[in-house]
Chains A and B, each alone.
Chain A
Amino acid sequence: MLELFRHVFDSNFMPHGHCYFWEKEILIPIVIGDGLTFISYMLIPVVLWRYVKARNDLKFSFVFKAFAAFIFFCGIGHLVDIVNIWEPYYRVSAITKMCTGLVSLGTIVLLFKFFPKALKIGLPGQVEQINKELKRQNHELEELNDFYNDTMKTVRLGYWHLDLRNNELFWSPVVYEIHEMEPGTPVSVESAISYYHPDHIHLITGVVQEAIESGKPFDLDLKLITAKKNVIWVRAIGKTVYEKGKAIRLKGLFQDINESKLREQRLLESESALNEAETIAKVGSWRWYVDKDEHYWSDERFRILGYHPNEIEPSLKASFQLIHSDDRESVQQMVEQAIAERAPYEIRYRIKTKDGQHKVLIDKGVPSEDKYSDETLYLGVVRDITEEHTRERELQESLQALERSNRELQDFAYVASHDLQEPLRVITSYLQLLEIGHAEKLDDEARHFIQSIIKASARMKNLINDLLTISKLDTSPKEIEPVDLNEVLKIVCDNLEFSINESDAQIVYDNLPTVEGDRSRLEQLFQNLMSNAIKFRRHDVQPRVEITATEKGQKFRIAVSDNGIGIESKYTERIFTIFQRLHSRDEYDGTGIGLAICKKIVESHGSTFTVESEVGKGTSFIFDLKPVNK
C-alpha cells in the first residue's frame, strides 16, 4: 500500500487515450461528458452546503453533508479520468476511487440509519394538513391572547420585567394605563420608582434591592401617584429570574387595586367605628345560627365577659358557664323557651367574668331569617348594666330611706300634735283653775304673770297646729277634683267673718273659674292669704282684698291683692321661709308659718308662688292654677 503513495505521480504507463486510438469522435464526447459531469459534481456540494448553512433548522443536515462529500469525490473521479487520457496517473485514480468507495459506503450507512426517520417526514399533503392545524392553533392562540389582554385590562393587571444586565424595564400596556401614561413611552427604573407615593418609595426600593441581592420575592400594596397626579393603590408583585446562578431579570405583576382597597378601608373604618361605639356604649353584639349552633361575637361581647377578642370559642355553653349559679337555670330555660317559640327575649342576669368581676348584663335576642338559607338566626345585644343596676339599687335604697323618714316624720307630726299639746292643755287649764278658784289670794302682778303664761301657751298651740298642717302637706296625698273658686271664697269669707266684720274689710271677686285642685288645701291657701291681707292692713284706709283670675296660656293666673302695708322688696324671699317673721308679736301676731304653708300648697299644684309688693300701697300674691280637663 505504501508503494502506492510513494509513486503517486509516476506515469510510466500507457495513457488511456491509446485505448480509444486517439479517435477524436470518441475522445471529444468523453472529455466533454466527463468535464461537464465534473463541473456539475463540484457545484452540487456547494449548493447543498449553502442550503444546510441557511437552514439551521434542518434536523438531518448530516445526510446532506454526507451526500455532498460523495458527489464531490465522484466529481474528482471524472476529472482524473480526463487527465488519465493523456497522463496515466493511475495511482491517483486508484486513491480517488478508493476514497469515493469509502465515502459512498459511509453515505449509504447513514442513509440506512436515516431511512426510518425519513419515512416519518410528512408528505406534501400531510404538511398542508399540519400547516392548517398550525394556523388554526395560531388563531386560537391569538384569540386567547386577545381574551388574556382584555382580561388583564378589565382586572387592571399588567406585567413587567427588568433586565438586570442592561437595566432595561419593560411594561405591559396595562401598567402604562395604570400610570395614566401613553403605552410604549420609555421608562427607566428610577422614573418608575418615582411614581410611588413619598410614603412608600422606601418600601418599593427596599424590596427591589432585596430581590436583586437575595432573590426574595415581594408582594406589596402601595400608593402610587399617576402621571395625572391621581393617588391610587396598586399591588406590586415581583420575583427574580436566575440564569446559571446569576440574577438576570426581575419580573412581576402590577395591579390597580384602588377600588377594592378603598372599599376595604371603608369597611375597616365602619367596623372599627362600630367596635368603638360598642365599647363606649358597653354593648356587645352577637349572632347565633341556631340549627348549626354557630355563634359569632363582637369584640365587645368578649370584653364584657372579661376575655380578649377571640380568646375563647363563642358558644352557648361558654355564655351560660359565666352566669351566676342562681340565675343560670332560669336564663337557660327562658332562652330555650324563646328559641322554641321563635320569640324575642330580654333577660337580665348576673355573671362572674373571667377575672372574677361581678357584672349585671341585659341580654336581648330577636329571631331573624338568614338571607342565604332558611335557618333560624338570632341576632342580639348584650349590655353591661352593672353601673345602672348599682345606681338603681342605691336609688331604691335611698327611696326606701326617704319613705322611712317620711313615715317617721308623719309619726313625729302625730306625736307632736298629741303629746306636745297634752301638757300645754294641762298648764292652761290649771292656770285657769288658779285664776278662778284662788283669785282673791293673788295680787295683780301674779295675775299678770298667769295671763302671760296663758298667752304663751296659746301661741305654742298655734305653732304646733301650723307645724302639723305643714307636715300633713308633705305626707298626705292630694285629692284632685274640680274646685269652683267662687265656692272656696264663700267658705273662706264665712270662716273669716269675724275679722272681716271687725276690720270692715271689703272682699272683691267676681266670676272666678273652676280649677283642678285639692279643695281643702285651696281653702287653706285662700284663707291664709286673706287673713294675712286683713291682718297686715293700713289703719288709715278701708282694707280691700281683691281676688282676680286671668287666662294665661293653658292656666289661670290667680292674684290675691290687698291695699295693706306692703313688704319691703329685700324681704320678699324671706316671707316664704318657715318661722320667718317681719314684725314683732306686739305689732302683728302669728307663727311665721302661714306663707310657708301657702307656698307648699301652690307648689303642690304645680305652680310657682310670687309676690309683688310696694310698701304703703299693698301686696299681691300670684300663682297659677290649672283649668278642669274637659
Chain B
Amino acid sequence: MKELHILLVEDSPEDVMLTKLAFDRSKVPTSITVAVNGEECLAYLRQQGEYAKSPLPDLILLDLNMPKVNGKQVLEAVKYDDKLKHIPIIVLTTSLAERDIEDSYKRHANSYLAKPMDFNEFIALVEHIEQFWFDMVKLPKND
C-alpha cells in the first residue's frame, strides 16, 4: 500500500500529537507533515525556500483558528490557485459556529469536521477519514 502524505496545518502541539497518535493507530500507512500556521502551510505548498523540494500532500487537514494567516485565508489561497486547488482540504476544528461552516464551504473546503471531545471518538473519526478519502475516493496523482 502506498504511503499517503497528509499535510496537517495545526498551531497547537497537543493537537498535533493527538492527531498523529490517532493516525498511528490506523491501518493505513501515512506520513504527516506539520505546518504550524497558515503562512508555513502556504510556503510549503508553493514550495518556497526550504520547502523547494517538498512533495505536494495528498490531503490537507486544516485548523481554522490560527495566528497570522488563518485557515479561511489558507482555503482562499489554495482553492484559487490552479496548481493547488485539486488537493482535498478537510477542515478539522473545534468550532461548530455556523459562520465558520458556511465560510469554509464557500471557500471550497471539501469537508468540514468538528474535533470530537472524546479521544475514542477522535480515533473513530480518523478511521472514517481514512476509509473515505483513501479507500473509497479516487484522488488525483500528485507528481
| Residues of chain A whose beta carbon lies under 8 Å from any beta carbon of chain B | 414, 417-419, 421-422, 424-426, 428-430, 432-433, 436, 457-458, 461
Contact = CB atoms under 8 A, between A and B. Distances in A.
B134 interface: no
A432 B120 contact: yes
A424 B95 contact: no
B27 interface: no
Contact of A424 (B97, B117, B122): B117
A418 B18 contact: no
Contacts of A429: 18, 117-119, 122
Given A418-B93, A419-B65, A421-B94, A426 B15 contact: yes
B82 interface: no
B21 interface: yes
B118 A428 contact: yes
Contacts of B94: 417-418, 421-422, 425
A425 B95 contact: no
B1 to A, nearest CB: 26
Query: By DSSP majority rule, is chain B's interface helix, strand, loop, or mixed?
Result: loop
Q: Among A414, A422, A425, A430, find the residue whose CB has the most chain B CB atoms closer than 10 A.
A: A425
Contact of A418 (B97, B116, B118): B97
A425 B96 CA distance: 14
Contacts of B93: 418
Contact of B117 (A414, A419, A425): A425
A625 to B, nearest CB: 25
A432 B116 CA distance: 13
Contacts of B120: 432
B101 to A, nearest CB: 12
B99 to A, nearest CB: 7
Interface of B: 12, 14-15, 18, 21, 64-65, 93-97, 99, 115-120, 122
By Cβ-Cβ distance, the 3 closest A-B pairs, closest first, are A432-B119, A429-B119, A418-B95
24 contacts: A414-B97, A414-B99, A417-B94, A417-B96, A417-B97, A418-B64, A418-B65, A419-B65, A421-B117, A422-B15, A422-B65, A422-B94, A424-B117, A426-B12, A426-B14, A426-B18, A429-B119, A429-B122, A430-B14, A432-B118, A433-B18, A433-B21, A433-B119, A436-B119
Contacts of A436: 119
B102 to A, nearest CB: 12
A582 B26 CA distance: 46
Given A417-B96, A426-B15, 6 more contacts: A414-B95, A419-B65, A425-B115, A425-B116, A428-B119, A432-B119
Contacts of B95: 414, 417-418
Nearest to A422: B94
A430 B118 CA distance: 9
Nearest to B99: A414
Nearest to B120: A432
Given A417-B95, A417-B97, A426-B18, A458 B117 contact: yes
Contacts of B116: 425
A458 B115 CA distance: 14
A421 B95 CA distance: 8
A422 B115 CA distance: 9
A424 B12 CA distance: 13
Q: Among A418, A425, A429, A457, find the residue whose CB has the most chain B CB atoms closer than 10 A.
A: A429
A414 B98 CA distance: 10
Q: Among B93, B119, B122, find the residue whose CB has the most chain A CB atoms closer than 10 A.
A: B119
Contacts of B12: 422, 426
Nearest to A425: B117
A286 B77 CA distance: 67
B19 to A, nearest CB: 10
B117 A461 contact: yes
A47 B12 CA distance: 161
Contacts of A428: 117-119
Nearest to B122: A429
Contacts of A421: 94, 117
B11 to A, nearest CB: 10
Nearest to B22: A429
A483 to B, nearest CB: 20
A89 to B, nearest CB: 168
A61 B6 CA distance: 161
Contacts of A432: 118-120
A267 B10 CA distance: 87
Contacts of B122: 429
Contacts of A433: 18, 21, 119
A424 B15 CA distance: 12
A432 B97 CA distance: 26
Nearest to A460: B117
A267 to B, nearest CB: 70
Nearest to A461: B117
A581 B15 CA distance: 35
B17 to A, nearest CB: 9
Nearest to A421: B94
A421 B64 CA distance: 14
A429 to B, nearest CB: 4
A419 B94 CA distance: 8
Contacts of A418: 64-65, 93-95, 97
A421 B117 CA distance: 8
B31 to A, nearest CB: 22
A133 B96 CA distance: 125
Nearest to B14: A426
A421 B118 CA distance: 12
A215 B120 CA distance: 124
Contacts of A417: 94-97
A414 B116 CA distance: 18
A436 B18 CA distance: 13
Nearest to A434: B119
Contacts of A419: 65
Contacts of B96: 417
Contacts of B21: 433
B85 to A, nearest CB: 26
B95 to A, nearest CB: 4
Contacts of A430: 14, 18, 119
A46 to B, nearest CB: 147
A418 B65 CA distance: 8
Contacts of B15: 422, 426
Q: Among B93, B117, B120, B122, find the residue whose CB has the most chain A CB atoms closer than 10 A.
A: B117
Contacts of A426: 12, 14-15, 18
Nearest to B18: A429
A421 B93 CA distance: 10
A432 B18 CA distance: 11
B105 to A, nearest CB: 17
